[in-house]
Structure 1
Amino acid sequence: MNRTLHINGLANVRDLGGLDREDGTMSPEGVFVRSERLDRIDPEGWRALIAYGVRTVIDLRRPDERTGQIPASIKHVHVDLDGDDETVFWAEYEADGRWGTPLYYLAHLQSLPHRLALVLDAIAAADEGTILFHCSAGWDRTGLVAAVLLRALDVTEDAAVVDYLGSFANADTMTALHERSFEVEERQQVFRRFGHTPESAFRDMYANLDLDSWFSTSNVTASTRVAIETWRGAAPELGSSNRERILD
């Protein structure tokens, strides 16, 4: 299925549902939506997101990046996934460009587990309804959280790769909408320097993403772990007619 949502003001937005799982089922629709920044969503776009079921927005950006307003009917949660003060960790990855790729994901999970734990706790504590999570481009921080959620539900490696590569496919549309470059060629150059393509880098990371080990050493509660591994109790339920209406 095409999981893209057609929302005025977004160019890199999609439901994490409809992806193949190892047991032959698919990830449930209407639980998680990933996107880029929300600044350009117009009133019609917000109405569509609310009709889709979005009740919580989780902004993964650093404090100095946060922009834009959302309707009062949607709960707005800020969680700094990077860690604005984690300068020692980021120095190496910012210097060589890996900060904008999945090449940093596993190190982030190992060195800064409390950062992801904050995001997962926010997901577990969110109000009933669809959760939209985003960063600036909806590419890398959003991609890390998406990878964790997909791995938690045993989404297949191939399906997870397709989801990740969707941001590359959307790059030109994002550039036109947001009037800025998303540095696709620069990302490609970083991958090549480290012997990868976008697909191989994500695939290698996803294959080595051991959530059982991460959960066993993190400080998340048992209830948060259950919420993540069951997608807030939604798996394997399907989406509603509202979701089907605006999914292409």
Structure 2
Amino acid sequence: MKNMLYLFIMMFPMAFYSQVNDSLQRKIPMQGTDNFRDIGGYKTKDGKTVKWGKIYRSAALNKLTTSDTLELKKLAVKTVFDFRGPYEIAIAKDNLPKGIQWINLPYGSENIGKTMIDFTNEKKMDSLLIAVYTDLPNLTKRYKPVFQQILCSDEPIVYHCTAGKDRTGMATALLLYALGVPESTIMQDYLASNYYRKAEINKVITIPTKDGMKTLPKSVQQVKKEWLMATVHAIIKQYGSIDNYLQKEMGIGPEEIQILRKKLLE
């Protein structure tokens, strides 16, 4: 068990640069969103490769241009899973072409707009994000339908949240783990949001607060390995292993694992 935790934590610079270097294959060019990428191409522990063109992860899709929607059609995407809550969707509804099924699985933002959150306080935001990352009942409720869709369909899917980094990052981590991708690679994919969202992260964003206009900390726009590790620790503490969690809560036991790998590996 300790070895699995160490593997999740260990990150090598060369491995990260490898993720950056393959961005020409992984990143799907979109004018109206960022962090839209294919999770294919990763090697598994037994030497297989995650298929390209099956699973896509993204930031919000509310600003898609006409060319972007044509790209979605070209990718043959039939279903989009949206992890955003009602408040996020109300101000930025997905702009999808006809024929794509939109499924809302709100996770972690249900109370935004109802309570005052100080987004400029880095420590408070850190605590808030840790709470989101360790909310296992919500995690199960929102991600299980995605796994079930993949099990019963061969059609490409997209799942996303607002920035495509936290809720989307956790979903990708669990899926790649189920496919047998090494833990270090899973962490690389998660942290790669800091590369794909570099332009957004470097923007100076000010928001109104009770004390006047304040600058949004860059850390709020980034991802940290500690956040994903909080999910791993929470799962292992309650279920003993990620495998037990997947089987007990997601309905992804040995038989389902084999189905997933048959569908998504080559």
Task: Output the TM-score relative to the length of structure 2.
Answer: 0.67
Alpha carbons of structure 1 residues 78 and 10: separation in structure 2 relative to 1, 3 Å: same
- Within the candidate set 115, 125, 128, 1:97 is matched to 125
Alpha carbons of structure 1 residues 99 and 138: separation in structure 2 relative to 1, 3 Å: farther
Q: Which runs of 5+ in 2 are unaligned?
A: 1-21, 112-116, 207-214
Structure 2 residue aligned with 1:185:
218
- Contact in 1 for aligned 2:87/2:109 (Cα 8 Å): no
Matches within 5 A, 1:214-233: 214-218=245-249, 220-221=250-251, 226=256, 230-231=259-260, 233=262
Question: Secondary structure at the residue paired with 2:98?
Answer: coil
Structure 2 residue aligned with 1:14:
37
Alpha carbons of structure 1 residues 229 and 167: separation in structure 2 relative to 1, 3 Å: farther
Structure 2 residue aligned with 1:25:
48
**1:20 CA drift (Å):** 2.0
Structure 2 residue aligned with 1:157:
183
- Contact in 1 for aligned 2:84/2:109 (Cα 8 Å): no
Deviations 1:70-98 (A, max 9, x none): 1112111111133737xxxxx9xx98323
Question: Secondary structure at the residue paired with 1:54?
Answer: coil
Alpha-carbon separation, structure 2, partners of 1:52 and 1:100: 35
Structure 2 residue aligned with 1:107:
134
Equivalent pairs counted in the alignment come to 218
Alpha-carbon separation, structure 1, partners of 2:106 and 2:176: 21
Structure 2 residue aligned with 1:120:
147
Alpha carbons of structure 1 residues 229 and 166: separation in structure 2 relative to 1, 3 Å: farther
Structure 2: which amino acid aligns with 1:38? L
**1:9 CA drift (Å):** 1.4
- Contact in 1 for aligned 2:133/2:228 (Cα 8 Å): no
**1:170 CA drift (Å):** 2.3
Structure 2 residue aligned with 1:72:
98
**1:175 CA drift (Å):** 5.7
- Contact in 2 for aligned 1:17/1:28 (Cα 8 Å): yes
Alpha-carbon separation, structure 1, partners of 2:103 and 2:59: 15
- Contact in 2 for aligned 1:77/1:122 (Cα 8 Å): no
Runs of 4+ in structure 1 deviating by more than 6 angstroms, as ranges, are none
Alpha-carbon separation, structure 1, partners of 2:174 and 2:132: 10
Alpha-carbon separation, structure 1, partners of 2:58 and 2:110: 21
Structure 2 residue aligned with 1:57:
80
Deviations 1:100-141 (A, max 9, x none): 75x45662226753333344335445x542100000000101
Question: Secondary structure at the residue paired with 2:29?
Answer: coil
Q: Which runs of 5+ in 1 are unaligned?
A: 86-90, 192-196, 238-248
**1:214 CA drift (Å):** 1.0
- Contact in 2 for aligned 1:83/1:115 (Cα 8 Å): no
Structure 2 residue aligned with 1:235:
264
Structure 2 residue aligned with 1:243:
none
Question: Secondary structure at the residue paired with 2:176?
Answer: helix
**1:231 CA drift (Å):** 3.5
Structure 2 residue aligned with 1:244:
none
**1:216 CA drift (Å):** 3.5
Structure 2: which amino acid aligns with 1:121? Q
**1:198 CA drift (Å):** 2.3
Higher Rg: 2
Structure 2 residue aligned with 1:45:
68
Alpha-carbon separation, structure 2, partners of 1:229 and 1:63: 35
- Contact in 1 for aligned 2:62/2:95 (Cα 8 Å): yes
Structure 1 residue aligned with 2:172:
146
Alpha-carbon separation, structure 1, partners of 2:220 and 2:100: 33
